[in-house]
Amino acid sequence: MARIPDRQICLDLLGRMCLIRRFEEEAGRQYQRAKAGGFLHLAIGEEATIVGTTSVMRDDDFLIGTYRTHGHALARGTPADEVMAELFGKETGTSGGRGGSMHIFDAERRFMGGYGIVGGNLPLAAGLGLASQYKGEDSVTVCMFGDGASNTGNFGETMNLAALWELPVVFLVENNLYGMGTAIERHSAVTDLSRKAEGYGIEGERIDGMDVLEVRERVGAHLEEVREKGRPSLVEAFTYRYRGHSAADPEVYRDKSEVEEWQQKDPIETFIKACLDDGVLNDDDVESARREADETVEAAVKFADESPEPALESLYEELYVVSETMGWYAVDERSPEPHRGELGEDAPDVAKNLAESGAAHAAEEQERQSREGVRD
Amino acid sequence: MREALRDAMTEEMRRDEDVFVMGEDVAVFQGAFKVTEGLLDEFGEKRVRDTPISENTIVGVGVGAAMAGLRPVVELMTVNFSLLALDQIINHAAAIPYMFNGNVRVPMVIRMPGGGGHQLGPTHSHSFEALYLQIPGLLVACPSTPADAKTLLKAAIRDENPVIFVEHESLYGIKGEVPEGEDVIQRFGEAAVRREGTDVTIVGILKMAHVAERAAEELESEHGISAEVIDPRTLRPLDLDTILESVKKTNRAVIVEEGWPHGGVGANLSTLITEQAFDYLDAPVQRVTGADVHMPYSRRMEQAAMPHEENVIEAVLAATDGAIGPKGGD
């Protein structure tokens, strides 16, 4: 383990990792209670990779991730309330209930989103990097993606373009050894992913993603180098998710013993031990970090629970920006009138009617599910 | 039309530093169809960027740059290659503003030339207006005149939404008046009535707007049928009001497009007309489309697979069925 930083930093790292762990455990529980729907991908076990990375990013740096990014948003400072509310599909969620677990977003903190298509965020990261370069800013983009994404065409295309244009992007593979249920040696011809962009002239480095201090130190070094030289780099962080790919994963592809082995290297427990051994933190600090995480998450569930559902008449909102260049938009061509909502003013009624018929169906379905206790 | 498009980009790039152009062979080569000729000289490599042949990533880089405040104009060499970028176009460019609840916008233009008629065969002759028309979150422009090309492209660049800008390869060489003035733009969602008429409404897009007009002239002179020709100019948003108004007057509609018939622009529009102006129709809505095959290379075969004036005239005669004109009397 790398050198222990000062007390304030240790408290911050511990606090954020505890928050993510606690948040994810609770998200899993709320999913079982059908408060959260759809898919739920938990990052329990991957806290050090996430927090180590964000702890060395500047406020004006961009972060972009995958569908497993509740923790990334939390680490960036997005309120747990809003992340939980998004999981609950509520109006107060980070994406107003339009995105869900896979699409958390926080422009204010430059968390540029969670994305549901494997590898789809890689070109976007290059675009964010291009914008920094174009505007002459020295912000850097950190693009986090899984080992599975390294097999997509986007990986090769983006590495090539980012290297060619010398874009300021740190590509960070969260290598948790599985692309969904397929082990890395079964999905990637080259399993040393840090070398996978060598052909594009991008140097890579393997790091221990379970060690928050190593992540902090090494990703910090990459960030500074990319910031200075304006060339992309690749970091492969070895990490592990204790839970399945999603909440609906029976995990037939790995042994329990493997999970237990990784849990021995638990990123939070090992960090706590190092801090206690060093004396930089004491038992009270650890206790209060855990308590605070408990309280924050408990409050987030309450907030999400009590938040309103998105308003039905907002179904068509935010699809387009209506402006001088597009003065109107027909909310739905199925609706007989009006065709031209004048600046959208006529739209809400029509939208509301359509939405209500859809919502009525959703309510029936929800009732059926709770009656039959359906939950995969 | 090629110059009109170039002028639109040049003017907008002069007006706004955040506008830049990127695509395969747009800079040094000056564009596969020479639309971007001269841009590199004036604006330099930072703002006129050659890209690798990586369509999905080119579009994705545009999306990311747009999310961070730039205004990219991406050229895909042809609409056929846009298939390689569908993930970024649909799952990202179109979805992002909505799925993030309007907390970020994707103000970008994706230009793509397409259409048949040049013996380019099955993989270089597509018309995908109908495909893009289906995607919520996108705007779709399909200009048929140099004036529209310029003023719509300027509007597209200024617009806050992602725009699919379809150009027809056969129209690049056509000439026409182009309005002067840097701030003259054509708003999206305003159809043009190219010719007024009373007996039948013909809707045509891109090259088919011209085919429709020529057919209308012949219908007038040879058959005594007065056809109103409408060019929607944009398919999203679609100026359905203008089309419905016309159909309510003429009571007959013929839709002409170069694309495939199933799920096409005409299929969509004829449904809308039937749903919303059924009581006004004196005949079923007719569609004139490209043949339901992959575009053959042979010149003869290719021409047979594309709509022509005679196909439009035939469809109009079927719609009017002798009720109008010298034979039936009006």
Tens-digit pLDDT profile for residues A22-52: 999 999 999 999 999 999 999 999 999 999 9
Looking at A288, A306, A324, the residue that finishes a domain is A306
Q: What dotted CATH number matches B2-171?
A: 3.40.50.970
* Residue among B59, B100, B159 whose CB faces A113 most closely: B100
With beta carbons under 8 A apart, name residues in chain B contacting A321.
97, 105, 159-161
Q: Are residues A294 and A323 in the same domain?
A: no
pTM: 0.93
A263, A361: one domain: no
Whether the Cβ atoms of residue B128 and residue B82 lie closer than 8 Å to each other: yes
Band of residue A339 on the pLDDT scale cut at 50, 70, 90: very low
Which positions in chain A touch B49 (Cβ < 8 Å)?
A: 165
Asked whether residue A145 falls in the same domain as residue A165, the answer is yes
Which one of B103, B140, B165, B246 makes the best mutation probe of the A interface by having the most chain A beta carbons within 10 Å? Answer: B103
* pLDDT confidence bin for A340, thresholds 50/70/90: very low
**Can you give the residue range of the structural domain that contains A143?**
7-306
Pick from A114-123, A321-330, B32-41: least confident = A321-330
- Closest-CA distance, A123 to chain B, in angstroms, reads 5
User: How many folded domains does chain A comprise?
Assistant: 2
Task: Reduce the secondary structure of chain A to three states and give it as a string.
Answer: CCCCCCHHHHHHHHHHHHHHHHHHHHHHHHHHCCCCCCCCCCCCCCHHHHHHHHCCCCCCCEEECCCCCHHHHHHHCCCHHHHHHHHCCCCCCCCCCCCCCCCCCEHHHCECCCCCCCCCHHHHHHHHHHHHHHHCCCCCEEEEEEHHHHHCHHHHHHHHHHHHCCCCEEEEEEECCEECCEEHHHHCCCCCHHHCCHHHCCCEEEEECCCHHHHHHHHHHHHHHHHHHCCCEEEEEECCCCCCCCCCCCCCCCCHHHHHHHHCCCHHHHHHHHHHHHCCCCHHHHHHHHHHHHHHHHHHHHHHHHCCCCCHHHCCCCCCCCECCECECCCCCCCCCCCCCECCCCHHHHHHHHHHHHHHHHHHHHHHHHHHCCCC
Lowest pLDDT segment from A98-112, A128-142, A257-271: A257-271
- From the CA of B175, how many Å to the nearest CA of chain A? 25
Domain endpoint, select from A273, A306, A339 = A306
Domain ranges of chain B: 2-171, 192-320
B68–A131 C-beta distance less than 8 A: yes
Q: Which residues of chain B have pLDDT under 50?
A: 327-330
Q: What pLDDT is recorded for position B201?
A: 98
Both A214 and A352 in one domain: the answer is no
pLDDT single digits (tens) B16-75: 999 999 999 999 999 999 999 999 999 999 999 999 999 999 999 999 999 999 999 999
pLDDT of A337 reads 47
Quick one: tokens of B288? 């004139």
State residue B323's pLDDT score.
Answer: 76
Q: What is the CATH number of domain B192-320?
A: 3.40.50.920
The CATH number linked to A142 is: 3.40.50.970
pLDDT of residue A369: 66
Q: Spell out which residues of chain A touch residue B51, defining contact as CB-CB under 8 Å.
A: 161
Q: What is the ipTM of this complex?
A: 0.94
- What confidence score (pLDDT) does residue A317 get? 86
Is B307:B204 a contact under the CB 8 Å cutoff? no
Same domain, A126 and A25: yes
Q: What is the mean pLDDT of chain A?
A: 90
B60 contacts A120? CB cut-off 8 A: yes
User: Is residue A2, in this structure, part of any structural domain at all?
Assistant: no
- Of A306, A328, A348, the residue at which a domain comes to its end is A306
Q: Are residues A199 and A345 in the same domain?
A: no
**Per-residue confidence band for A376, with pLDDT thresholds at 50, 70 and 90:** very low
Residue A84 in domain: yes
Q: Are residues A334 and A185 in the same domain?
A: no
Provide the pLDDT confidence category of residue A344 given band limits of 50, 70 and 90: very low
Residue A331 has pLDDT above 70, yes or no: no
Chain A residue with Cα closest to B151: A325
What is the predicted pLDDT for the residue at A364?
A: 73
The 10s digit of each residue's pLDDT in B121-141 is 999 999 999 999 999 999 999
Judging contacts by C-beta atoms under 8 Å, the chain A residues touching residue B88 are 120, 123
What is the per-residue pLDDT for A316? 82
